[in-house]
Amino acid sequence: MKAIRIHQHGSVEVLQIDEIPLPGIEADEVLIKVETAALNHLDLWVRQGIPGVPLPVVTGSEAAGIIVEVGDIAHNRYGLKKGDEVFTIPIRSCGFCAYCMAGQENLCSDFHIPGESIQGVQAEYIAVPAPYVLKKPQNLNWEEAAAFSLTGMTAYHMLVQKARIHPGQELLIYGASSGVGSAAIQIAKVYGCLVITTAGNREKAEFAKKLGADYVIRYDREPVGKTVKQITNGRGVDVVIEHTGEKTWIDSLRALKKGGKIVTCGATTGPKVEIDLRVLFIKHQQIIGSTMGTRRDVLDLLSLIEKDLFKPVISKIFSFEDVVKAHLFLEQGKSLGKIVLKFE
């Protein structure tokens, strides 16, 4: 079978389509014939080189497809069967530690993301443990089913589990056109929050409005922190959803109201930031870290999807042979929503 793999880190040239053996399955696993697999910024970072990636590695964290083989436990305990249309949750954890038992899999010391620290899902067939396989919602097509769990669970975890958002709160969500940003805007609107977001050009600003954002700040034209203060009549926002780091940090602090929370899950523009602790404690503000999410977050998101309250946003679909083009498209920041690879 064919799989997209990298044998070394580097530019798009290191992406290759390899012929590898069909994976066998354990009793608690299913074999999935992959229809679609989504790209994430994580794919770019893995390709460019982050520590802990076993090489060669099959790339990709989330996929959707049809079950073609099912282990006994996967069938008897999880009710999965041949022919089921499913999608995969982009995490793996031990399942037994105190964190896993409490449903906090993203704190497990044996936590993995497929396509990062373990083999990924951008292959014709994948073996996946049953706890990380869920039925595809009927109101999503194959492209959508593969393209919401990673960014969706990340955004949901930040907003609902970490920031504990509630109706009437005012939020600043960076990067409306990004995977996490576009998911966060939709979730925040379901929760009845006022959403201020950022966009770098007119096309992205229009995209943000369509997603439901109340205000869009063109960060190429206006200072974000100051504009947030104007929009909120000088108060600032209750919550900032951060995933950019160095470039936006000062604006994030400036935009935050007394008692507000910054929740951060990324540092795409750099990881080192400055903070004046006196301002932090005098204003009773919180800075909260968050990575990925839990199975529970995906299940909660599924119930929003089934009620048409959340919709994965697809920017562009590529055939899996065109994975190089797909990486370039994502790298160049052209996407509005998610990029999906389609397997024939």
Which of these ranges, 87-95, 137-145, 167-175, 239-247, lies near Zn ion under the rule CB under 5 A? 87-95
Exposed / middle / buried, residue 343 (Cβ in 10 Å: 0-12, 13-18, 19+): buried
Which of these ranges, 98-106, 175-183, 270-278, 336-344, lies near Zn ion under the rule CB under 5 A? 98-106
Q: Give the nearest distance from C-beta 96 to Zn ion in angstroms.
A: 6
Is 97 an interacting residue with respect to Zn ion (CB under 5 A)? Answer: yes
If the CB atoms of residues 97 and 118 are measured against Zn ion, the closer one turns out to be 97
Closest residue to Zn ion, Cβ-based? 108
Size of the site for Zn ion (CB under 5 A): 5
- Give, for 263, the enclosing helix (H) or strand (E): strand 256-264
Exposed / middle / buried, residue 218 (Cβ in 10 Å: 0-12, 13-18, 19+): middle
**Angle (deg, nearest 10), helices 295-306 and 179-190:** 60
Which of these ranges, 43-51, 90-98, 190-198, 283-291, lies near Zn ion under the rule CB under 5 A? 90-98
Is 91 an interacting residue with respect to Zn ion (CB under 5 A)? Answer: no
If the CB atoms of residues 99 and 219 are measured against Zn ion, the closer one turns out to be 99
Distance CA 197, CA 41 (A): 20
Is 93 an interacting residue with respect to Zn ion (CB under 5 A)? Answer: yes
Residues between 101 and 130 that touch Zn ion (CB under 5 A): 108
- Give, for 230, the enclosing helix (H) or strand (E): helix 224-231
Kindly tell me which residue out of 12, 17, 44, 94 binds Zn ion, with binding defined by CB under 5 A: 94
Is 292 an interacting residue with respect to Zn ion (CB under 5 A)? Answer: no
Distance CA 175, CA 341 (A): 23
Distance CA 226, CA 224 (A): 6
Binding stretches for Zn ion (CB under 5 A): 93-94, 97, 100, 108
